[in-house]
Amino acid sequence: MTFKAGLPKPLHHVYTVFHKAGFDLYLVGGIMKHLLKYENLLEYKHMKDWDLTTNATPEQMLSLFPDGFYNNQFGTVGIPVTDGDDEFVIEVTTFRSESEYKDRRHPEKVEWGKSIEEDVARRDFTINAIVGKLLPVEDSPVLNSIEVIDLYNGQQDFKDKIIRAVGDPDVRFKEDALRMMRAVRFAVQMGFTIDPKTLEAITRDSALLSEISYERIYEELMKILASDYPYEGVMLLKNTNLLQYILPELLEGIGLSQERPGRHHKDDVFTHNVLSLKYCPSTDPLVRFATLIHDVGKPRVQSADEDGLVIFYNHEIAGARLAYQIAERLRFSKKDREKIVKLVRWHMFTVDEKITDAAVRRFIRRIGVENVQDMMDLRVGDRLGGGTQTAESWRLKLFKRRLEEQLAPEPFSIKDLAINGHDIMQECNLPPGREIGVLQQKLFEEVDEDLEKNTKEYLLKRVKELLLDK
């Protein structure tokens, strides 16, 4: 099969240089899937993610592109290009022939291959082994013929929406164990199914994932959670035994019943967690992750009440500790780890209509203004994942309205007090120091309960009283 497809000008320029020097250039990866689907490349939005391969060695590519750079052992050369005001790098990799993979991730030895056939034989899945050889078209500076080379029937698998390993799946996964998670990720990103033999091999070889770094596992997990099918992705990880090497704490909830009179939960803790993920309205993978593990502390604190019914006292506190450990293990950034812990720790917030405005403001300060909507999304997932038919109760709707009132224009804080530290020092003849901050905090706590007290006259009088009470 041959396409005539427009190339963006930067890529066309790179191709022209390769062609004039007598080298072949091939499109691989996501760009080929886009071409097969749309038969056009000019609208491809992921220019920075183009995957190209060639028979030119890194040294030969650098001679063609002196401003290029080559700083790895796998034959990838970065070629800086511009497209209007945009500047980015096109990466081109030399054909490769790889030897044994002793760490389940990187080959012990990489040699430059002699043919495209040798190169695609080492690729992970048939839909990623489809390549497009760029051929010249003389009548247009931005149009090329693209000859599709498909040695492993990847086009049919793409049409049938199947993820299938190239050759023997056990060999592919023993070469690079992360490919097992990539199979799940591709399936949920594209809405595909995994070929039964490939799926069986993933289950059989799942223990190999323990040899992969958590940094790489984190990357794949976040992509799975960012997809349109995060629930299906987690269930695939669970059913192929991969999840025990990613989130073993989550599996502790399997079979742990939550049923008791008056409680809406009908499923075990694990099922509730994954269903909460399914129904969480947020598309942010970080919020989805927090939702997935929001009740992860329950198995660690389960006990029975006087009637012998299961209770999970302080499970949110235990869950926050576990969330910290999990996020640290998976190499989340410090900022993301703190967000996850906050969402898990405070997800049991009350929405009683009788709570005070001050309590609403304390809730906002506790979780952070930037996390308010994310916490609401987690609560919706929690409700629906527990079997409730409506996303929001009338109390939750009322609570959200009260949050909006307290957030407009922005929540009350110490800086909004009618007096500042300088006023306290001047009025009470105090030197700078920790005592000033302590007094400000006491004034803030009092005024937060009754905003009408936030006047300069009252606060100056009150601070003197506080000093006399010491």
* Ranges of each domain in the chain: 2-160, 162-246, 256-411, 414-468
- CA quadruple 91, 96, 102, 105: dihedral, nearest 10: 30
> CA of 192: how far to CAs of 13, 181, 308, in Å?
35, 14, 45
H or E element in which residue 199 lies: helix 196-205
- CA quadruple 191, 196, 199, 204: dihedral, nearest 10: 170
The Cα 211–Cα 23 span in angstroms is 38
Say how far residue 4 (Cα) sits from the centre of its chain: 36
User: How many CA atoms lie within 13 Å of 105's alpha carbon, on the beta-carbon side?
Assistant: 12
The Cα 219–Cα 224 span in angstroms is 9
Q: Which two tokens stand for residue 393?
A: 């109760």
**What does CATH list as the number for 162-246?**
1.10.110.30
User: Looking at this protein, which amino acid is placed at residue 10?
Assistant: P
Q: What is the pLDDT of residue 414?
A: 85
H or E element in which residue 132 lies: strand 131-136
Q: Name the one residue in this structure whose structure tokens are 């590519």.
A: 61
DSSP state of 165: B
**What does CATH list as the number for 256-411?**
1.10.3210
Taking each helix axis from N to C terminus, what angle separates 285-292 and 334-345, rounded to the nearest 10 degrees? 40
Burial of 9: CB neighbours in 10 Å, binned 0-12, 13-18, 19+: middle
Q: Look at residues 350, 358, 363, 360 and name the one whose alpha carbon lies nearest to residue 396.
A: 350
**Whether the Cβ atoms of residue 310 and residue 257 lie closer than 8 Å to each other:** yes
The Cα 316–Cα 347 span in angstroms is 7
pTM of the predicted protein model: 0.84
Q: What is the pLDDT of residue 106?
A: 57
Domain 2-160 of CATH type 3.40.50.80? no
Per-residue model confidence as pLDDT tens for the chain (470 residues): 888 887 888 888 899 999 999 999 999 988 888 888 887 777 665 556 678 999 999 999 999 999 999 877 678 899 998 877 888 888 899 998 755 555 555 555 667 888 899 989 989 999 999 999 999 877 677 778 899 999 999 999 999 999 999 999 999 999 999 999 999 999 999 999 999 999 999 999 999 999 999 999 999 999 999 999 999 999 999 999 999 999 999 999 999 887 765 556 678 999 999 999 999 999 999 999 999 999 999 999 888 777 777 788 899 999 999 999 999 999 999 999 999 999 999 999 988 888 888 888 889 989 999 999 999 999 999 999 988 878 888 888 988 898 888 887 666 788 888 889 898 898 888 888 888 888 888 888 888 888 888 888 888 888 888 887 76
The Cα 200–Cα 182 span in angstroms is 15
Q: What is the pLDDT of residue 202?
A: 98
